[in-house]
Structure 1
């Protein structure tokens, strides 16, 4: 019905001219993200650090100083109060209490009773209490999920394409994941199970985008048998540029409502996904493609490259 072209057809942008700058910038950002991971470190959420989170809605605008005073008198340690959504929505965070999971639940019940007594009409909408053993297991399983997903993607790309394509995709994924971790540190967004879901989503989106670009490169390797690999990669990126930008824009438009209206949990998820869309789109062009050029220049193209000439016949299967 309506076909939107974000860039003109038959573009001839020489993306590979900026390959050294793109990879260097990516490495610098990833190394900086690794340092940020160790200091100041991630802001672990309740899922991984343990503790108590209570989401409540007061009948009128919440009186934060009074709530902080009443809850602080319970001797449950530091109490963090945060407004989200409307002035009536309050997010209460408590540190993990000494003892087992029963101690966490007892503290949560005490906060719930205090809210009901001091602010009649308050509705407790969500209570999460996680002990040390559970939080440690959740963190281990979350990291295991990321590792297994990356291995599965490597195997998939390796079997579908040549090994140079698989190596380029996985190295780019590692760089994308480290930069996403750095984004969590810089923005101080809580790193919890929702963060694991966001990173897995970014990995899936990123690998999907790279498969599309790689598939066009493989087709062009069969069609333009004498075209230098650098020119062929530029040609393939330009041919898929409208698809790449169109998919990124449509995905961005669907995630924006989550980032704006999604509430405390989904809002962080949406913000990270928006960052991941820009990251995955740029890395497909300026990271994955240059790595393929470096790895495949003397392997995907045998012998001295000649001037670009389209093959006389269709590509053989």
Structure 2
């Protein structure tokens, strides 16, 4: 007959908490460095939060020439530009700062019109304090032709905006915010016109300044709400010392993960935020499993010293902890190797999260119970009665 596979078949008596002071000093240093890094170096915010444009382009023949591309795109007057290889040497990711909707943007729209609709076109901003844009055609056009012409720069003339009769001027009414959003599309078309001969655009992403700010605020509130909800759950599920220990461990994991984004300047986007939230959930899951065994052993061995009891509980759950961590590590490792550039930041963060989540469950959460002075007589009497009732029912069955 087949026998069950045991990861640790020998008797486990590792003195984990004997090294708690070294571990806590190391953890504190990592978190301090991570926080300092956020304020001094800063996160490499992606388009989702910072706003701007991301354009993926592939060379039609051979390898992408980054230096040449940087000079070409940098000369367009669209602001700060950064380039990097994207998956293979022939594909490049072009990042352009968010556009402010100023007169420079309108001048860029004129270049696009002259490129796409023919020479002689003029584009200028409307009255001061508005986002209006005025177009002047080289020849008089009727309403249908005007609609087709301005669509070449990503605008749509509404019925109320269509010129009366045939004329060579038209005005598009917009707010300042709407013009800033439109300027994102103008910048994309400028880049496409500049590099379209040698490169094929594979995809574009544009996030305006208003949307980027909203996403940033929503992301921060999502992280805070998640951590508060998890803390409340642990507080209800366990005694307050367990809740505080779990919350400290979760904060440790989140802060150190953000430090990884700073250290390697990984793209911090909505995908990265999802990784941070996933790590918080993974960490608390691992911690709760160990805490369950700790509380169970505290009821069973009421006179056992706390350090010995915690070590025993960690050793008893070690096989489960290592098996879970190993399987998740393998899955995330596959994402790192084969997930491609889109999942790169997410995969690296998750790989770190598996390691630090397992570490913090032992050397942060459990070590915290020691310093919080947990004692067996602090366990809730109601839980003891419930446990005794359950054991009586099981014995009767």
TM-score normalised by structure 1 residue count: 0.89
Q: Is the 8 A contact 1:261 1:267 kept in 2?
A: no
Residue 170 of structure 2 corresponds to residue 168 of structure 1: no
1:255 deviates by 0.8
Aligned equivalents of 2:90, 2:265: Cα separation in 1: 24
Q: Alpha-carbon deviation of 1:84? A: 2.2
**Structure 2 residues without counterparts, runs of 5 or longer:** 102-179, 379-386, 391-397
| 1:72 paired to 2:148 | no
The reply on whether 1:103 has 2:180 as its aligned counterpart is: no
Change over 3 Å in CA distance of 1:16–1:128 after alignment to 2: same
Q: Give the aligned partner of residue 330 of structure 2.
A: 253
Hey, what's the Cα distance between the residues in 1 that align with 2:357 and 2:6? 20
Once residues 267 and 250 of structure 1 are traced to their aligned partners in structure 2, the CA distance between those partners, rounded to angstroms, is 19
How far apart are the structure 1 equivalents of 2:253 and 2:286? 13
Match of 1:144 among 200, 205, 221: 221
Structure 1 residue 153: deviation in Å? 0.3
Is there any run of 5+ residues in structure 1 with no aligned partner, and where? 303-314
Alignment of 1:136-285 (within 5 A): 136-285=213-362
Do the aligned partners of residues 241 and 55 (structure 1) sit closer, same or farther apart at CA in structure 2, a change above 3 Å counting? same
Larger radius of gyration: 2
Q: Which has the higher contact order (CA 8 A, sep 6+)?
A: 1
Distance in 2 of aligned mates of 1:6 and 1:163: 33
- Aligned partners of 2:54 and 2:15: how far apart in 1? 51
Aligned equivalents of 2:21, 2:74: Cα separation in 1:
55
Alignment equivalent of 1:112, drawn from 168, 184, 192: 192
Per-residue CA deviation, residues 100-154 of structure 1 (Å, 9 max, x unaligned), is: 11111211122223332x21xx442221111211111111100100000000001
C-alpha change, 1:58 and 1:2, in structure 2 (3 Å) is farther
> Per the alignment, in what secondary structure is the counterpart of residue 55 of structure 1?
strand
Per the alignment, in what secondary structure is the counterpart of residue 13 of structure 1?
coil
- 8 Å CA contact 2:302–2:376 kept in 1: the answer is no
Contact 2:261 2:267 in 1 (8 A): yes
Displacement over 6 Å in runs of 4+: none
Could you tell me whether the CA contact under 8 Å between 2:290 and 2:314 is conserved in 1? Answer: yes
Gap change, CA 1:3 and 1:259, over 3 Å in 2: farther
Q: CA deviation at 1:2?
A: 8.0
- The partner residue of 2:92 within 87, 90, 103 is 90
Following TM superposition, by how much is the alpha carbon of 1:264 offset from its aligned partner in structure 2, in angstroms?
A: 1.9
Question: CA 1:3–1:114 in 2, change beyond 3 Å: closer, same or farther?
Answer: farther
CA distance in 1, matches of 2:253, 2:298: 27
CA-atom RMSD in angstroms: 1.8
Take 1:146 and 1:97, find their aligned partners in 2: how far apart are those partners?
A: 28
Q: Matches of residues 275-314 of structure 1 in structure 2 within 5 Å? A: 275-297=352-374, 299-301=375-377
The residue that corresponds to 1:311 in the other structure is none
Q: Distance in 1 between matches of 2:288 and 2:277?
A: 16
**TM-score normalised per structure 2:** 0.72
Q: For residues 4 and 92 of structure 2, what CA distance do their matches in structure 1 show?
A: 45
User: Equivalents in 2 of 1:125, 1:45: separation in Å?
Assistant: 18
Distance 1:39 1:7 in 2: 44
1:58 Cα deviation from its structure 2 partner: 2.4
| Greater share of residues in strand | 2
Q: CA shift at 1:301, angstroms?
A: 4.4
Query: Could you say if the C-alpha distance between residues 268 and 149 of structure 1 is closer, same or farther in structure 2, counting changes exceeding 3 Å?
Result: same
1:224 positional shift: 1.8
